[in-house]
Chains A and B, each alone.
Chain A
Amino acid sequence: MRYLPGKIFSCVLTLWLVSLLTFIVFQILPGNPAQIILGAEASPEQVAALEKELGLDKPLSLRYIHWISGVFRGDLGNSLRYARPVRGLMVNSLKVTLPVAGMAIIFIVLFGIPLGLAAGKYHWHKRGVLLSVVTQLGTAVPSFWLGILMMLALAKLFSYFTPGTFIPWDEDWLGALASLIPPALTVALPKVAVLTRYVGAAFVEEESADYIRTAFGKGLAEKKVFSNHLLKNILISVTTVLGLMGTDILGGSIIIEKVFALPGIGRLLIEAISFRDFPLIQAIALYLSGVVVLLNLLVDLSYSFLDPRIRWR
């Protein structure tokens, strides 16, 4: 069990390096948050007052040290742009991004794996070719276009969904959930296509492996061969792909959130960057790198469950 502590240490190190990198990039970036917040209409007096209020008169390195020491105390600081705690802003945005991501992942697994198995099984059939064409198309479609199309279709045909209709959870959770389904589908569709192709390819490859022939040879039923042997082996590579997709999705899609006017983490990030909101950018960078690190850790750990040959040492 020496494996886990080492892993965790390297994770924390990665997170810290990311925050340091963000800090360094931030130093190069032109722009004064106080001026951006107040715009061109503000008088110089107002800008000066705000700079002082926000603590912008202190050097950035000091602000970084202040921020990082806060993080260890569980305090993410205050957003410059919104003049309120970063934590609350993050939580509110995650309430949008995480459900979308969760639903998208469910859709991906629900559709991608069965379709992929079908693609593999009917690889040489007409149906397989059709699937291959469709999924090829699916991977090629840009998500913003798909999003706009989806929105127009839903709005026009069913007058069901309109952008900007995201309803706060505490007001109408069913409505909130319903309004997040179209974006989740938009996020999921291209990835379903990718997963389908991936699973299909893995299927075809494993199908011709020796152990499958052996399994058939010893007289196992097709169903058993697939579920006991083939599926297990495919799952390992599927987990890797899903892990990668997960990091992508949990980061919140800036484009999808823009198209559907969702107040998620992607939009918060854009806002934070355009306002040079240092504490907010740092917190989002921390979250994004945290997701990547954590998911990679989970994928690594899950290997040992899926593949008995891999064990923690």
Chain B
Amino acid sequence: MRIRFSPFYLFFLIGILLIAAVVLRVEKKETEHKIVVVIPQDPDYLDPHLASAAGTYEMMFNVYEGLLKPAPDGTLLPAIAERYDITEDGRSYTFYLRPGVKFHNGQTVTTADVRYSLERLMGTQTGQPLSSYFTKVEAVETPDAERIILKLKEVDAALLNNLTTASIIPKDYQELNTHPIGTGPFRFVEYRPGQRVLLEKFDDYWQTGRPFLDKVEFRIIPDREAALLALKNGTVDIYPRIDNNRTAELGEDFYTLRDKQNLVQLLAMNLNRKPFSDHRVRQAVNYAINKDELIELAAFGYGTKLGSGLSPAMANYYEPGLEDFYPPDRAKAQQLLAEAGYQDGFRTVLTVPSNYPFHVDTAQIIVEQLKKVGIKVEIELVEWAVWLQRVYKGRDYEMTIIGLAGKLDPLPTLIRYTSDYANNFFNYKNTEFDRLFQQAADESDQEKRAELYKKAQRILAEDAAAVFLMDPHYTVALRKEIAGYQTYPLYIQDLSTVYRVSKKPR
């Protein structure tokens, strides 16, 4: 008897497997009012006072709230505090607690919780501050069940904005990192590392009628290609920060929203290194770079030109006109280089973190642009960890490209250029800038403050502290069925207003 090895048996088996697989995955009818948002990375900490990654804040914004909350236009909304008063001298802030705000564990928020939260950030008990935003706060007082008074050592105009990030947590609650409890529209259900963060509607949310969704899932998919496929195939409903060149292939079932994202993408030059210590060389580099072309090629036209360390997304503080301070001018660049003694150009290295494909693309175009004025740039790709250690902390680099995320207030962004700031990796030093910055920080009048910041920005531009490239637009792709999404000038996914058209309540 012969043994027969029929190839048919194999195809049969493969067929069975495929069919079984299809059958196994019977389409489950979604009955819940749920939305899945794709995000590229795990959160760093669920404890809001320990977390600092923008990617964490954008999720947990739905879970935690501060005394105040940012609005989509960048202004402030009262949240846990119903209203507030500031004394004439700007040294004392009184917040009035909104009555009946509940934590996700059912407890009502008290002034003691607020005080605990703020003091935890300030490190009052531990001596170890968890945030540098509240160094000017001398004491938090809670005279009664309604008022929280912040006494300041000196005027701090950034305080109100900074309070939006000071999440209020239950007093003495120790399990924030595993079971977060806040007051936001959604409450935390679970976090599975590498898989997802699941939130559900908080029924006792103080803002009645919100949120609309029953459940929100943040699905963690690091690979951009996989994320795009997941969106197309219906696994995912919202894809924030989709690549601008990929939106065209989405088709009719999707729409996109775009906005400035308050990110300053810049080309930093190490001011402690030759030839960048020469301010003419930095200006030459500025003249050599064509930002419009850069936006066209690297961001597919979706970007806003910059001229200083702030994005125009911060409309109140941005000094307009600076974006054209150095119009592309090759002759001028070459002339400046010659004046500085580099008539034949020079060689340099541009260090770029390899985990940001956008910065890598930008770098390649910059290399070409600088080549035309005789500056020969070699790109060096480094791992993010190495970039942080060597470039950011060690300041051991010649040129680098990075995006610095803006906050509601210009202070945390512009402090990076002050002479003695620990993370001033530009090695930028200008006493006039320092003076203006300090003056602005001590100014309580918002208009005067804005003026000072504008002056400071002009100095940054004149000194060519860096080449301020662009604020690449934030593009979010959504399924047609989804409405109510709002863009912020911050790194935020606000899902409290989002709903599926088919399930819109009322």
Contact = CB atoms under 8 A, between A and B. Distances in A.
Interface of A: 30-32, 35-46, 49-50, 52-53, 81-84, 89, 92-93, 110-111, 114-115, 117-118, 121-122, 127, 148, 151-152, 155, 158-166, 168, 172, 174-175, 177-179, 181-182, 185, 221-223, 226, 258-261, 263, 267-268, 271, 274-276
Contacts of B390: 30
B384 interface: yes
Contacts of A268: 193-194
A267 B389 contact: no
B404 A164 contact: no
A84 B193 contact: yes
B54 interface: yes
B215 interface: no
A82 B389 contact: no
B172 interface: no
Interface string B351-392: 000010000000000000000000000000001111011101
Contacts of A37: 44-45, 53
Interface of B: 1-3, 5, 7, 9-10, 13, 17-18, 21-22, 24-25, 28, 38, 42, 44-45, 50, 52-54, 128-133, 177-178, 192-195, 219-223, 225-227, 229-230, 232-236, 355, 383-386, 388-390, 392-393, 402, 404-405, 422-423
B229 to A, nearest CB: 5
18 contacts: A31-B389, A37-B53, A40-B388, A41-B405, A42-B52, A43-B52, A50-B50, A83-B45, A114-B9, A163-B235, A174-B24, A258-B222, A258-B223, A258-B226, A261-B221, A263-B194, A267-B194, A274-B385
Contacts of B389: 30-32, 35
Contacts of A182: 21
B29 to A, nearest CB: 14
A221 B1 contact: yes
Contacts of B392: 35, 40
Contact of B3 (A81, A160, A172, A223): A223
A162 B5 contact: no
Nearest to B3: A223
B399 to A, nearest CB: 16
Contacts of B194: 92-93, 263, 267-268, 271
B92 to A, nearest CB: 24
3 pairs of A and B residues whose beta carbons are closest in the complex: A263-B194, A31-B385, A118-B5
B404 A40 contact: yes
Contacts of A82: 42, 193
B385 A30 contact: yes
Given A35-B388, A44-B422, A159-B233, A164 B226 contact: yes
Contacts of A118: 5, 7
A201 B7 CA distance: 19
Nearest to B22: A160
Nearest to A270: B222
Contacts of B21: 160-161, 178, 181-182
